[in-house]
Structure formats: C-alpha cells, structure tokens
A and B are shown apart, each in its own frame.
Chain A
Amino acid sequence: MSTNLNDQRLDALFAQYRDACPEMEGSPDFMPGVWRRIEKRGSVAFLLPRLARLACAASVVICLVLAALVALPGLSTAHPSASAATYADALSADHSAEKTYYTESIRATDNLVPADYAR
C-alpha cells in the first residue's frame, strides 16, 4: 500500500521535474551552425582522418585473420609433421625427407669416386 503511494509520489515528482526543466529554444546561430558542421563533415578535411581510421581498422582485421590462419591447425598450411605429438613422432613421420637426403647423399658419393679407383 505504502509502496503504491510512494510510486504515485515518484510519478508526481517526475512530472514536476519535467515542468521544472527550462524550455530551450537554441541560439539564433543554431541552424547556421548545423549547416557549417554538415559542410565540414562532407569536406575532404573530414574524410581524410576517416579514411585513415578505416585503413587502420582494415589492417587490424587483416592481422587478426592472418594470425587466425597461422594459429588454427585446420587452416594452417604448415607441414603435417608439425602437428605431431613429439619430436620422435615428427622424425618418424618425415619419411620422404629422410629418404631423399639419404639417396641424394649416396648418389653424390658415387659421383665423387674417381674412375680408376672404381675399377
């Protein structure tokens, strides 16, 4: 009951507050001021900092996208062995590279043997 009464008193207070607030007309320079701002905002001087801000925002977005590409394993283009659990796993997964080095080193050794020694 008393809450309802206080509610009504608060409503009355808000109404009194509305009436107590001064009416504002604005200065005679209000409308010319609005047009000055509109023209200023449309000019290059206003556009340049805006473009700069846009460029900054775009570069931040690009950085975030690139960071996400590097960080997310599914999206990463790194070697599959990079995601192996241990260093030993990575080594055992890297068959192709091992074979290549081994074969290449044998071939290189073959070519280095002098002809007369080989005979």
Chain B
Amino acid sequence: MLVEPDLIEKARQGDSGAFNQLVAAYRKRILGTISRLIGRPEDVEDVAQEVFVRLYYSLDQLRTPEVFEPWLYRLSVNACYDYLRRLRRRGEYRMADLSEQQVLMADSSASGKRSDEDAEKVRLREFVEALFRHVSEEDRLLLTLKEVEGLSLKELEKVYRVNENALKVRLFRARQRVLKAFQAAREDGKL
C-alpha cells in the first residue's frame, strides 16, 4: 500500500487533509491505469477526478483499510466502464481508431521535435491496442489490469467480486484471442 492504514481511517472519518494526502499518493497510479484502460489521453484527468469524487462519497462504506486498493481499482474500473458507455452512446470512437501514427505525424510535422524513440513507443502502443481490439471491452479491461497493471488473481477477485476460477477462465479465453491475433500479426510481418 502506498499509504498507512491510519491515513485511510482519518480520511474515512472526514479529515479533508488526510483525503488530500490520499489523492496525492494514488493520483499518478490511477491516472496511469485509467490512461491504459480508456485510451483517450484528453479525458484521463476527467475520469480520474470522477474516481476520487466517488471515493470521497463511498469511503464510509469501506470496512477495513486493508481492502482500500482493490476498492480504489474497483471504482476506477467502474468509472472507466461508465465513461466508455457514455462514449458509445454518443457514437464516438477511441483515439486508437483514428490511427495514433497519423496523429504523431501531424504533431511532428507541426513541431518537428518528436524523437524516433517516441515514435517507436507510439507504434508499440498502437500495436498492442490493435491486439486488444480482438476482445470485448470488458475483457480488454480485465486483461489490462492483469497483464499490464500486474494485479494478481486474488486482487482481481476483490476488484471484480467474482470467483477466482471464473476470472481465470475469462482471462484465459481473452489471452488466447490476443495471442492468436499476435501470432497472425507476426506471420504477416507487422511486428
């Protein structure tokens, strides 16, 4: 845990200073997670703020400080689902659909500052996001939490409140689909 249980307890009792410290401690991690889950950098901060607002209003329901992190991840996943649902309703698409490479080229022609290293990172991100498009949005989020964020099955069980075996099956199927797409891409020489 990034903070002491005492701090969580203080925030739970309504101490706004403690809540500020809590946000400061987890801000970077939550911003990173949300950025990988929703794939739209311009909306990451908005969704992260929503997560912390939800945290503020639900802290009194937290039974013990030990389950704080899965609780926070759960709030983040739910906020991402809500955001993606809103996006679907509005008929908008993820930035990756617009080709990140095109965005990069437009940027570099404007500023001329983007390095080759950055371009390689962008290409890698675009490639992985294209692989993730072979699974459903729910499975993409689950797979990202497991494979990219590094959450264990026990932690995921607490986040999703689903039996570990059910999670294993879902993860296995999702990973197999991504693996198949990965193999196909390798055979096509895309990587």
Q: Which of B41, B53, B121, B183 contacts A37 (CB 8 A)?
A: B53
Mask for A28-44, Cβ within 8 A of B = 1, else 0?
00110110011001000
Q: Known contacts being A13-B182, A21-B32, is A41 close to B125, with CB within 8 Å?
A: no
Cα(A68)–Cα(B165), bound, Å: 38
The answer on a CB contact under 8 Å between A26 and B178 is no
Is B31 at the interface (CB under 8 A from chain A)?
yes
The answer on a CB contact under 8 Å between A14 and B179 is no
Comparing B20-28, B75-83, B88-96, B101-109, the segment that makes contact with chain A is: B20-28
Comparing B42-50, B65-73, B133-141, the segment that makes contact with chain A is: B42-50
Secondary structure of the B contact surface, majority rule: helix
Q: Known contacts being A23-B32, A30-B45, is A18 close to B148, with CB within 8 Å?
A: yes
- Within the complex, what minimum Cβ distance (angstroms) separates B179 from chain A? 6
Max count, chain A CB within 10 A of own CB: residue among B48, B49, B150, B179? B49
Cα(A113)–Cα(B186), bound, Å: 108
User: Size class of B's contact patch?
Assistant: 35 or more
Cα(A65)–Cα(B125), bound, Å: 51
- Within the complex, what minimum Cβ distance (angstroms) separates A35 from chain B? 8
Residues of A bordering B, CB below 8 Å: 3, 6-7, 9-11, 13-14, 16-18, 20-27, 30-31, 33-34, 37-38, 41
**List of A residues within 8 angstroms of B56 by Cβ:** 34, 38
**List of B residues within 8 angstroms of A6 by Cβ:** 179, 182-183, 186
Is B158 at the interface (CB under 8 A from chain A)?
no
Q: Which of B107-135 contact A (CB under 8 A)?
A: 120-122, 124-125, 127-128
Q: Which of B31, B52, B179 contacts A24 (CB 8 A)?
A: B31
Max count, chain B CB within 10 A of own CB: residue among A7, A20, A37? A20
Cα(A113)–Cα(B183), bound, Å: 104
The answer on a CB contact under 8 Å between A34 and B148 is no
The answer on a CB contact under 8 Å between A37 and B124 is no
The answer on a CB contact under 8 Å between A26 and B48 is yes
Cα(A27)–Cα(B186), bound, Å: 39
Q: Known contacts being A20-B121, A21-B35, A24-B35, is A7 close to B148, with CB within 8 Å?
A: no
Is B15 at the interface (CB under 8 A from chain A)?
no
Is B147 at the interface (CB under 8 A from chain A)?
yes
The answer on a CB contact under 8 Å between A10 and B179 is yes
**List of A residues within 8 angstroms of B53 by Cβ:** 34, 37-38, 41
